[in-house]
């Protein structure tokens, strides 16, 4: 939750006048999103989200992200759509940063997802995978198996200061993932970060997906594994099999998982848990003094990882062939 | 900038259903306001600001604050107006905290105020003073002269760790304020915190005043002095006399300052600078690890205080009798 960049008055005025959205009535920084600065802008034409991309987002990736949102929206996925200025540009500059304005989505994210939310998000994820099939641009997943060891090495051997024994588990998992990571599964555009705060519901129905800034080209089943970790565990660290079954069944109702994907699910879930454990561990160990964002607890994903290490096959997630 | 409290889904739903505002379409935490948690709520009926009062606001003061906003709005002041629920209540409970929903004001605050903004805010402050004249409830200013020494004592003698010599200046100023603080000036409801981020402009015109959570019963001219400090200094710490004259002239065009008020202005400006120096110093010295808010620089007000100490009479602020 943060706004990192203050926009000078005159620059903001000139920026907004470059769009055909009428007079600006309000602009408020939003206390959501940890990577970028987000503002809710109200104009005569409606509501918009203005994003200033801070340094953790590579400017070279922005055409992929903005193009993807536009592609998905055209295919009927409810997601923010980039607004083009009078010259047709969606990607612009503001306050010295890359900036874009997107349409506002109604809905709220669910703090405590229930099984019906998991079913809905599973189905929406499958629709996203199908809708992205003919998107022309590709983007490598910067946070897949070959990126994990370099990330871990940046933690400087300090994992055990967070939890005794953590370093040994991580090293074991890195080795296992490097040996056994699946390669030949169906691929395409994945969201890669579809946590509850990126999924909006309205009146009990899923109303939209947001935050495509980790989207990339990778295995669909890995995206499913990310959602299993993000949606189906209880606060005490145990898997809720009812929610997992709902998520997987929801997904399968739109895009049935193949046998190879089902077989790979435990390994993908371990890898996905390791990925979030490592990024959170890195953030935890490197949070600067005076940071505006409280780092997320890496141990939440340590607990999930331990669960997945105990799993024999995908039936542990409520899935039956 | 912060949201301190996460609202459980079911509690939020029940809370919003107690109002006659239609279906909720969106609720986003706002990265503004350092004392409370604020959310921008969009419903079928429009936009609202939902505030959860955190521990720095005394619950006993809330009827004063909410009643004042209602009173001022009825008198034609553009300020947030509390929304009453179906039972007629404006002050409610949510997530274990006092909570209220108020109307949304269009406009944006000005990052770099110019003289015309200062003139407008001066006039608006005077209109607020006149409109508050017949407000029935009173509230003591908790941060006036008799509150400063206790606040300073809570800083534990650590002022010189922030700037060498600061402690001696503060002790000198405390003594001077306690000896010479004016008492017999015109009094009534004052805003007491009318900084630029609490004043909205739209199309170059002042569109509203917000954040009445320091409002109290005190001398009108003290409120003017707060605004002089908040609006009329440059980033380098020098007073912009053009802006000061604009603010005082704007104020006087609606409510002319009396001779006694003008004579007291240098002392009131010193006291107001001391008040913000002390609260910022306290926050600076006591900011907890992991705080979501970056404390404001106390030395900004140290520089303003030093300016006011050099002032002979109110002509230094561009005011001629």
Complex prediction ipTM: 0.84
**Strand pairing of B205-209 and B97-103?**
unpaired
Within 8 A of B196 by CB-CB distance, chain A residues are: none
CA gap B153, B277 in Å, rounded: 14
Within 8 A of B111 by CB-CB distance, chain A residues are: 6-9
Which residue in A29, A32, A110 is closest to B9 by CB distance? A110
CB burial class (10 A; 0-12, 13-18, 19+) of residue A175? Answer: exposed
Residue B20 has pLDDT above 80, yes or no: yes
Contact B196, B109 (CB under 8 A): yes
Contact A36, A52 (CB under 8 A): yes
Instruction: Verify whether the Cβ–Cβ distance A107 to B26 is below 8 Å.
Output: yes
Cβ-based neighbours of B8, under 8 Å, separated by 6 or more: A111, A112, B95
Distance from CA of B174 to the nearest CA of A (A): 31
List b or e across B292-311, with b for residues whose CB sees 16 or more CB atoms inside 10 angstroms.
beebeebbbbbebbebbeeb
- Interface check for B203 against chain A (CB to CB < 8 A): the answer is yes
Within 8 A of B27 by CB-CB distance, chain A residues are: 108
**Alpha helices, H only, chain B:** 9-17, 62-74, 115-131, 145-153, 166-180, 220-231, 241-254, 259-286, 298-309
Q: Which of B4, B7, B15, B28 to mutate to test the interface with A (most CBs of A within 10 A)?
A: B28
Which residue in B2, B9, B23 is closest to A111 by CB distance? B9
Give the CA distances from residue A127 to residues A213, A250, B238, B257, in Å, rounded to whole numbers and listed in that order: 18, 10, 60, 67
CA gap B244, B230 in Å, rounded: 10
Collect contacts of B230-234 with beta carbons under 8 A, ≥24 apart.
B230/B194, B230/B195, B230/B196, B231/B113, B231/B117, B231/B118, B231/B121, B231/B195, B231/B196, B232/B118, B232/B317, B233/B303, B233/B304, B233/B307
Q: Which of A5, A6, A7, A9 to mutate to test the interface with B (most CBs of B within 10 A)?
A: A9
- Which of helix, strand or coil describes residue B200? strand
H-run or E-run covering B46: strand B46-52
Distance from CA of B42 to the nearest CA of A (A): 9
Mean pLDDT of B176-187: 95
Residue B245 has pLDDT above 90, yes or no: yes
Question: Which pLDDT does position A166 carry in this prediction?
Answer: 94
B220 dihedral zone (left: phi>0; alpha: psi -120 to 50; beta): alpha
CA gap A71, A60 in Å, rounded: 18
> pLDDT per residue over B81-118, tens digit each?
999 999 999 999 999 999 999 999 999 999 999 999 99
Instruction: Verify whether the Cβ–Cβ distance B2 to A27 is below 8 Å.
Output: no
CA gap B99, B120 in Å, rounded: 31
Question: Which pLDDT does position B237 carry in this prediction?
Answer: 85
Instruction: Verify whether the Cβ–Cβ distance B32 to A32 is below 8 Å.
Output: no
Please tell me what DSSP assigns to residue A148: H
CA gap A256, B279 in Å, rounded: 61
Give the CA distances from residue B154 to residues B8, B159, B176, B205, B283, in Å, rounded to whole numbers and listed in that order: 36, 11, 20, 41, 10
- Which of helix, strand or coil describes residue B37? strand
Question: Which pLDDT does position A295 carry in this prediction?
Answer: 77
Contact B219, B191 (CB under 8 A): no
- Interface check for B205 against chain A (CB to CB < 8 A): the answer is no
Instruction: Verify whether the Cβ–Cβ distance B292 to A290 is below 8 Å.
Output: no
pLDDT band at B159 (very low <50, low <70, confident <90, very high): very high
- Interface check for B32 against chain A (CB to CB < 8 A): the answer is yes
Distance from CA of B55 to the nearest CA of A (A): 20
Question: Which pLDDT does position B1 carry in this prediction?
Answer: 36
Distance from CA of A74 to the nearest CA of B (A): 23
Q: Which residue of A has its CA nearest to B30?
A: A30
Question: Which pLDDT does position B34 carry in this prediction?
Answer: 64
Q: In chain A, positions 107-166, which contact chain B (CB-CB < 8 Å)?
A: 107-108, 110-112
Residue B292 has pLDDT above 70, yes or no: no
Distance from CA of A101 to the nearest CA of B (A): 17
Residue B293 has pLDDT above 80, yes or no: no
Within 8 A of B202 by CB-CB distance, chain A residues are: 23, 25
Q: What percent of chain B has pLDDT over 70?
A: 96
What does A217-285 look like in DSSP terms, one character per residue? EEEHHHHHHHHHHHHSB-TTS-B-HHHHHHHHHHHHHHSPPPHHHHHHHHHHHHHHHHHHHHHHHHHHH
- Which of helix, strand or coil describes residue B159? helix
CA gap B50, B40 in Å, rounded: 6
3-state secondary structure A69-118: HHHHHHCCCCCCCECCCCCCCCCEEECCEEEEEEECCCCECCCCCCHHHH
Question: Which pLDDT does position B290 carry in this prediction?
Answer: 58
**CB contacts < 8 A (A, B):** 81
End-to-end CA distance of chain A: 41
Q: In chain A, positions 237-296, which contact chain B (CB-CB < 8 Å)?
A: 290, 292, 294
Instruction: Verify whether the Cβ–Cβ distance A30 to B29 is below 8 Å.
Output: yes
Which residue in A27, A28, A31 is closest to B3 by CB distance? A31
Q: Which residues in chain A come in under a pLDDT of 50?
A: 1
Mean pLDDT of B216-232: 98
CB burial class (10 A; 0-12, 13-18, 19+) of residue B130? Answer: middle
Phi, psi of B42 (to 5 degrees): -105, 125
Instruction: Verify whether the Cβ–Cβ distance B108 to A24 is below 8 Å.
Output: yes
Contact B35, B105 (CB under 8 A): no
CA gap B102, B50 in Å, rounded: 6
Contact B265, B225 (CB under 8 A): yes
- In 3D space, the residue among A318, A130, A106 whose CA is nearest the CA of residue A199 turns out to be A106
CA gap B86, B94 in Å, rounded: 16
- Interface check for B6 against chain A (CB to CB < 8 A): the answer is yes
Which residue in B7, B32, B203 is closest to A23 by CB distance? B203
Which residue in B2, B26, B106 is closest to A26 by CB distance? B106
What does B260-298 look like in DSSP terms, one character per residue? HHHHHHHHHHHHHHHHHHHHHHHHHHHPPTT-SSPPP-H
Distance from CA of A107 to the nearest CA of B (A): 5
Instruction: Verify whether the Cβ–Cβ distance A28 to B8 is below 8 Å.
Output: no
CA gap B97, B52 in Å, rounded: 6
């Amino acid at each position: 939750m943060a706004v990192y960049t203050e926009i000078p008055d005159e620059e903001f005025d000139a920026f907004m006048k470059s769009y055909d959205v009428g007079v600006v009535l309000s602009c408020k920084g939003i206390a959501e999103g940890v990577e970028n600065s987000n503002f809710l802008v109200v104009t005569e034409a409606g509501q918009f989200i203005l994003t200033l991309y801070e340094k953790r987002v590579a400017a070279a990736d922005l055409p992929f992200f903005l193009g993807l949102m536009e592609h998905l929206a055209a295919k009927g996925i409810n997601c923010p759509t980039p607004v083009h200025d009078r010259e047709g540009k969606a990607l612009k500059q503001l306050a010295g940063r890359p900036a874009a304005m997107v349409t506002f989505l109604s809905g709220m994210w669910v703090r405590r997802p229930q099984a019906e939310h998991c079913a809905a998000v599973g189905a929406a994820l499958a629709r996203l995978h199908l809708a992205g099939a003919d998107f022309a641009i590709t983007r490598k997943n910067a946070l897949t198996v070959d990126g994990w060891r370099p990330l871990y090495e940046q933690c400087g051997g300090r994992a055990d200061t967070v939890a005794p024994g953590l370093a040994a588990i991580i090293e074991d998992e890195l080795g296992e993932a490097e040996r056994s990571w699946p390669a030949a599964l169906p691929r395409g555009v994945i969201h890669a970060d579809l946590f509850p705060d990126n999924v909006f519901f309205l009146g009990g129905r899923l109303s939209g997906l947001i935050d495509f800034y980790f989207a990339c080209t990778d295995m669909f089943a890995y995206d499913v594994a990310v959602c299993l970790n993000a949606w189906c565990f209880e606060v005490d660290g145990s898997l809720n099999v009812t929610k997992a079954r709902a998520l997987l069944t929801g997904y399968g109702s739109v895009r049935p998982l193949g046998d190879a994907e089902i077989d790979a699910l435990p390994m993908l879930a371990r890898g996905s848990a390791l990925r979030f454990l490592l990024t959170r561990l890195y953030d935890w160990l490197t949070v600067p003094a005076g940071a505006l964002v409280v780092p997320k607890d890496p141990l939440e994903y340590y607990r999930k990882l331990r669960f997945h290490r105990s799993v024999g096959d995908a039936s542990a997630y409520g899935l039956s062939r």
